[in-house]
Structures are given as C-alpha cells and as structure tokens.
Amino acid sequence: MSDESPIAPPSVPPYVQADAWTRLRAFTRARIALGRAGHAQTTDTILAFGLAHAQARDAVHLPLDVEALEAGLRAAGHDSVRVHSAATDRAHYLRRPDLGRVLDDTSAARLDAMRPAQPPDVVVVMADGLSALAAQRHALPLLEALRARLRDIALGPVVIAGQSRVALGDDIGARLGARQVVMLIGERPGLSSPDSLGIYLTYDPRPGRTDAERNCISNVRPEGLSYAQAADKLVFLLRGAMALGRSGVDLKDDSSDLSLSPISSAPPTSAISPATPSSGT
C-alpha cells in the first residue's frame, strides 16, 4: 500500500467568483452557464460545440446498418421485411422530402404480395429518418419493451424502411392492412441529442393522412425518455386509438393519470376524451 497522501483539489483563487448558474448544469444538457474568457467563450465550450455539431451532421448522413438490424430482429424472434422510399439515395432524400413519404415500386409490390389474410392490429416500422443512429441504437430495445407489454394483439412483420419520412408508414400500413402503424424513426439531431428516436402512431393508416391524425412520443433514448416509459405511453395510446377509432388531436395522452392495462379490441374502462389536443402530433 502506498504511503502517499491523496492529492488535494486545486484551490480556487480568491479573485474568481462562483457562478450561481453552474450548479444547474447538473440537471440539463442545454448549453447554460458556459462562462467566458474576456469577451469570448472559453476554449472548452467552443470545442464542445464543434464536436456536438459534427456529431449532429454525422447522424444525418450515417447510413442505417440494415443487416445488423435484421440480425437483431431474428435473434429476438421477429420476422422482418426491408423496404425503401422513392428517394434513391441520401442526397436525394434530403433534397426531396416528398419522395421519402412514398414507397418505391419494388417495395410497394413486395408489401402488396405479402398482405396477410388476417390484418394485423399493429405494424411496427423501423426507419432511419434524419438520424439512422437513433434507429440503430434504440428501435429494437424499444420494440422489446413494447412486446413485453402487449397481450392479445396481432403484430405484423417488422418493416425496416430506408430513406424514410414519417408519412411513409401510412403507405406501409395501408398495404399490409394494419389497423394501426407505429413508426420508430430517427428525429432531427440536436446539438445535445444526435440519437433521439421518435414514435409516431397512426390509426387506420393510408396515404394522405396528416400530422394532426397521428400521435408523437419524442426523445426516446437513455438520456431522455426511457424505453419503459415510452412503451407505457405507446401502449396507452394504442389502446385509446382502438377505443376511439382514430388517433391524433382527438387522442389525449392521459397515461400518467390512468393505470395501464393490456391492449384489447374492447374500449378501455376509462375513456379518453375526444377533441382534446395531443401534446405531440
């Protein structure tokens, strides 16, 4: 055992004044209490900003590793199918958002050919969106948390969508005859969240649905909304959409007020008020 005494923390010079805002940085990743050196920001904050900006740019352009995602789904016991939007590549996708909302001809034909005789209650779509990193990291753990909470509900095959926007799920769900479609899609990266996953739920999906007709749960990641919390909210909304026969602004997330129960086709005991704006659509 060493006889050396522990190194004492460096003393703070008496002319340095403590910043009352600094302690708040323990509660948020927002850029607060950055400090300054003269009339400029400190070197460490400038370097941290540059790193965060680079990570956000990389998240937008990083391709989705579909093979790895398919392997993970197989290992978890899920069937999957791969589709692609009408945007041919990433540059095309970023310039033409409209093409990310429709399937290419090959994918459309593939889904039409595999439409089940018994329509699934829910089809889950894993999509790259604006952050493939988010889908790569969080889509499968979230799906497993969701499956653990589902009973007596028919899940269709998991669809992996490349160069996808949110509305692509409407086309996918309609072709598979799904009662509801759930999009797990990478959100636009922020400077503190390059891997944030969004969930979009649409009842009776079909092309032409608007954002007002779907519900959103955002910022799903360990540093944001946990997989368990997101799955609880999603199960509540799935159940409510089945009871109301619609999703979107008419479907209010009261999951914090009600106990969750397994999904069934019967209305819940506690009704969800119609015509109540949702917190995320």
Q: What is the CATH number of the domain that holds 139?
A: 3.40.50.11240
Task: Give the CA-trace dihedral at 93, 99, 105, 111, to 10 degrees.
Answer: 90
Q: Specify whether the CB–CB gap between 85 and 145 falls below 8 A.
A: no
Q: Specify whether the CB–CB gap between 224 and 187 falls below 8 A.
A: no
The pLDDT assigned to 106 comes to: 97
The pLDDT assigned to 12 comes to: 52
The pLDDT assigned to 257 comes to: 55
What phi, psi does 198 have (nearest 5°)?
-110, 150
265 CB-near residues (< 8 Å, 6+ apart): 121, 242
- Please tell me the total number of residues recorded for the chain in this structure: 281
Residue 4, domain member (yes or no): no
Task: Please report, in range form, the residues annotated as the binding site for adenosylcob(III)alamin.
Answer: 166, 187, 216
The pLDDT assigned to 100 comes to: 96
Query: How many domains does the structure of the chain reveal?
Result: 1
Residue 240, domain member (yes or no): yes
Residue type, position 274, single letter: P
The pLDDT assigned to 260 comes to: 42
Domain hosting residue 158, numbered range: 61-244
Q: Could you give the CA distance from residue 130 to residue 189 in angstroms, rounded to a whole number?
A: 7
Task: Please report, in range form, the residues annotated as the binding site.
Answer: 166, 187, 216
Residue 48, domain member (yes or no): no
The pLDDT assigned to 274 comes to: 32
Residue 144, domain member (yes or no): yes
Q: Could you give the CA distance from residue 268 to residue 237 in angstroms, rounded to a whole number?
A: 11
Residue 165, domain member (yes or no): yes
Task: Give the CA-trace dihedral at 217, 221, 222, 227, to 10 degrees.
Answer: 50
Residue 272, domain member (yes or no): no
Q: Could you give the CA distance from residue 142 to residue 76 in angstroms, rounded to a whole number?
A: 12
The pLDDT assigned to 279 comes to: 32
For the question of whether the overall pTM of this predicted structure is more than 0.85, the answer is no
Instruction: Output the tens digit of pLDDT for each of the chain's 281 residues.
Output: 445 555 555 555 665 566 667 777 777 777 777 777 778 888 888 888 888 888 888 888 889 999 999 999 999 999 999 999 999 999 999 999 999 999 999 999 999 999 988 889 999 999 999 999 999 999 999 999 999 998 777 888 999 999 999 999 999 999 999 999 999 999 998 877 889 999 999 999 999 999 999 999 999 999 899 999 999 999 999 999 999 999 999 898 877 654 444 444 333 333 333 333 333 33
Q: Specify whether the CB–CB gap between 279 and 219 falls below 8 A.
A: no
As given in the structure block, the two tokens for residue 65 are 């590793």
Residue 264, domain member (yes or no): no
H or E stretch including 220? strand 214-220
Residue 108, domain member (yes or no): yes
